[in-house]
Amino acid sequence: MALDGLSLDQLRTFIAAAEEGSFSAAGRKLNRAQSVVSQTLANLEIQLGVKLFDRTARYPSLTEHGRALLSDARAIADGMDGFKARARTFTEGLEPELSLCIDAMYPLCALTEAVGTFREAFPSVPLRVHVEVLGAVIEPVLNGSCRIGVVGTLPVVPDTLRKELLLDVPMTTVVAPKHPLASYEGIIPDAELRKHVQLVLTDRSRLTQGQSYGVYSQSNWRLADLGAKHAFLRAGLGFGHMPQFMVADDIASGRLCVIRVAIPATQSLLMPMHAVYRKDAPPGPAGRWLIHSLKRTTVAEGFAKMHALHGRDVSPPTGAASL
């Protein structure tokens, strides 16, 4: 058989068998008999002239060639899903409503500007906006209750989502002037940070359960609201990472002080923010317009502000989820 005869169904069966770990499990996932899965994969191997699975053990395992071809098969399947979904948005026309779940770290000035121009461009499309952090930003995107998410505090995005870079948010670490760390000169060692309470954003979803990012101290208070964290910092109840735009006035007025925290050289002063959406349900015309409007080039401006405050040694880790 010629390679031109390969079908998308064969590739999806190959992917399912590789991901599920057995032909019977792949059959259950695809709602077909194990014998059909086995025959489909056998035909695929004949057409490719390559053995994809080692069947000598109790459960089939990918061969070296199978592992090499799996990523290509996924790319082809994802590309076809995207192609069909994009075509569907053309036939469906303008969205009757657009829902957006946005990370609390995203600059409000950029959000309000984009939403204001969106209302002028699409007056007939109602917009629903939710503000969350961590996995709670993408959970509604995954379950379909929101079409678009804007995420920064979650370092890893599931493979079922496509992401587009929007902008970079400068971050800083702050305490109240009366806090013991405020008088510390130079970069504060991790051992010293562990002596103090760290104020950390927590996740409303289960996607990051048991995981922590950017946490220095075992003594930490976890808050589900960025505004509450801001208030706790100003009250001197601990130290924590904040988006620079949110605390700039506090730093200028002396209500908060910047502290210097050592970070690896491979990490950045900026938190990248991405628009995310399901590969099988990309945004329509209004959603695409909003994503484009949310994109801003702020890297140079962000570095200039951060350098003016405290130099380039200070920052939580890039994409730190517990902030």
Give 50's contacts (C-beta < 8 A, 6+ positions apart): 65, 66, 69
Q: What is the pLDDT of residue 316?
A: 36
Q: What is the pLDDT of residue 63?
A: 93
Q: What is the pLDDT of residue 220?
A: 82
Distance CA 322, CA 48 (A): 46
Residue given tokens 């309000």 in the structure block? 112
Q: What is the pLDDT of residue 315?
A: 37
Per-residue model confidence as pLDDT tens digits over 292-318: 999 864 433 444 444 444 443 333 333
Query: Over the Cα atoms of the chain, what is R_g?
Result: 24
Which one, of 148, 164, 139, 160, lies nearest residue 74 by Cα?
Answer: 160
Question: What predicted TM-score, i.e. pTM, was given to this entire model?
Answer: 0.63
Distance CA 61, CA 143 (A): 31
Which one, of 49, 34, 39, 51, lies nearest residue 10 by Cα?
Answer: 39
Cα 69 to Cα 76, 122, 139, 279, distances in angstroms: 11, 44, 30, 21
3-state secondary structure of 52: coil
Which long-range contacts does 80-83 make (Cβ < 8 Å, 24+ apart)?
80/8, 81/279, 81/280, 82/162, 82/279, 82/280, 82/282
Domains of the chain, earliest start first: 3-91 (1.10.10.10), 95-167+272-299 (3.40.190.10), 169-270+304-310 (3.40.190.290)
Q: What is the pLDDT of residue 224?
A: 82
Q: What is the pLDDT of residue 215?
A: 65
- Residue ranges of the chain whose pLDDT lies below 70: 1-4, 85-92, 155, 203-217, 263-268, 296-323
β strands within the chain, DSSP E:
53-54, 61-62, 98-103, 127-132, 148-151, 161-175, 187-188, 198-201, 220-223, 240-243, 257-258, 260-261, 270-278
Residue 9 tokens read as: 């169904």
* Cβ proximity of 136 and 203 under 8 Å: yes
Q: Which residues pair with 221 in a beta bridge?
A: 199
Q: At what angle do helices 23-30 and 34-48 cross, to 10 degrees?
A: 110
Residue type, position 277, single letter: Y
Distance CA 64, CA 86 (A): 34
Residue type, position 243, single letter: P
Cα 315 to Cα 40, 123, 219, 259, distances in angstroms: 52, 40, 20, 9
In the 8-state DSSP scheme, what is residue 140?
H
Residue 170 tokens read as: 């400068």
The DSSP secondary structure of 248-281, one letter per residue, reads: HHHHHHTSSEE-EE---TTS-SEEEEEEEEETTS
Q: What is the pLDDT of residue 3?
A: 62
3-state secondary structure of 235: coil
Distance CA 211, CA 203 (A): 10
* Cβ proximity of 193 and 217 under 8 Å: yes
